[in-house]
A and B are shown apart, each in its own frame.
Chain A
Amino acid sequence: MTGIRMGIFSGGFFTTEAVWTALLVGGFAALVAAVAGVFTVMRGQSFAGHALADLGAVGGSGAFLLGVSQLWGFVGAGVLAAIVLEVIGLHRVRERDIATGIVFGFGLGLTALFLYLGTTLGHSSNQAVAVLFGSLFSIDPGVVGPVIGLGVLSLALVMLVSRWLSLEALDADIARARGVPVRLAGVLFMVALALAVELTALSIGAVLATALLIGPAACALQVTSRIPRAMWVAVVVGVGCTVLGIFISYESYAWSPGHRAWPASFCIVAIVFVCYLSTRVWNTVSAAMTRRRGVRRVGQVSERIREGN
Chain B
Amino acid sequence: MTAVHGEREPIVRISDAAVVLGGRTVWSQVGFDVQPGEFLGLIGTNGTGKTTLLRAILGTVPLAEGSIQVLGHARGRGHDLGYVPQKVVVDPDLPLRARDVVALGLDGAKVGLPLRTRSTWERVERALGAVDAQDLSERRIGRLSGGQQQRVLLAQSLVSDPKLVLLDEPLANLDPASVQEIVALLGRISRERNMAVILTAHDMNPLLPVLDRIVYLAKGHAAVGTTQEVARTDVLTRLYGSPIEVVTVHGRVVILPASGAPDTEAVHHSEPVQREPLP
Contacts and interface: CB of A to CB of B under 8 A. Distances in A.
Q: Say if A and B assemble together.
A: yes
Interface of A: 38, 42, 44, 159-164, 166-167, 169-171, 173-181, 221-222, 224-228, 230
17 contacts: A159-B112, A162-B112, A163-B104, A163-B108, A166-B114, A167-B108, A167-B109, A173-B55, A173-B83, A174-B85, A177-B82, A178-B80, A179-B78, A179-B79, A179-B80, A225-B97, A225-B140
| Candidate in A44, A159, A160, A176 with the most chain B CB atoms within 10 angstroms | A176
B104 to A, nearest CB: 5
Given A169-B94, A178-B104, 8 more contacts: A170-B94, A173-B85, A174-B85, A174-B88, A177-B166, A178-B80, A227-B96, A227-B114
Contacts of A180: 108-109
A160 B112 contact: yes
Interface string B81-103: 11111001011011111001100
Nearest to B139: A225
A189 B58 CA distance: 24
A170 B97 contact: no
A227 B96 CA distance: 7
B90 A178 contact: no
Contact of A159 (B82, B91, B113): B113
Nearest to A224: B95
Contacts of A228: 113-114
Contacts of B83: 173-174, 177-178
A180 B105 CA distance: 11
Interface in B52-82: 55, 58-60, 76, 78-82
B114 A163 contact: yes
A175 B94 contact: no
A227 B100 contact: yes
A298 B93 CA distance: 23
A175 B82 CA distance: 10
B141 interface: yes
B105 A178 contact: yes
A289 to B, nearest CB: 16
A241 to B, nearest CB: 20
B112 A164 contact: no
B112 A176 contact: no
B85 A163 contact: no
A42 B141 CA distance: 13
Interface of B: 55, 58-60, 76, 78-85, 88, 90-91, 93-97, 100-101, 104-105, 107-114, 140-141, 153, 156-157, 160, 166
B171 to A, nearest CB: 18
B11 to A, nearest CB: 14
A224 B140 CA distance: 10
B105 A226 contact: no
B100 A226 contact: yes
Contacts of A164: 108-109, 111
A285 to B, nearest CB: 17
B109 A178 contact: yes
A4 to B, nearest CB: 39
Given A177-B81, A177-B83, A170 B101 contact: yes
Contacts of A161: 111
Nearest to B107: A163
A177 B104 CA distance: 12
B104 A167 contact: yes
Contacts of A169: 91, 94, 96
Contacts of A170: 88, 90, 94, 96, 101, 104, 141
A166 B100 contact: yes
A224 B157 CA distance: 25
A166 B96 CA distance: 8
A288 B90 CA distance: 22
Nearest to A168: B108
A124 B107 CA distance: 54
A171 B58 CA distance: 13
A207 B144 CA distance: 38
Nearest to B89: A171
Contact of A226 (B59, B91, B95, B166): B95
A174 B95 contact: no
Contacts of B114: 162-163, 166, 227-228
Contacts of B109: 163-164, 167, 175, 178-180
B198 to A, nearest CB: 12
B97 A178 contact: no
A163 B96 contact: no
B109 to A, nearest CB: 4
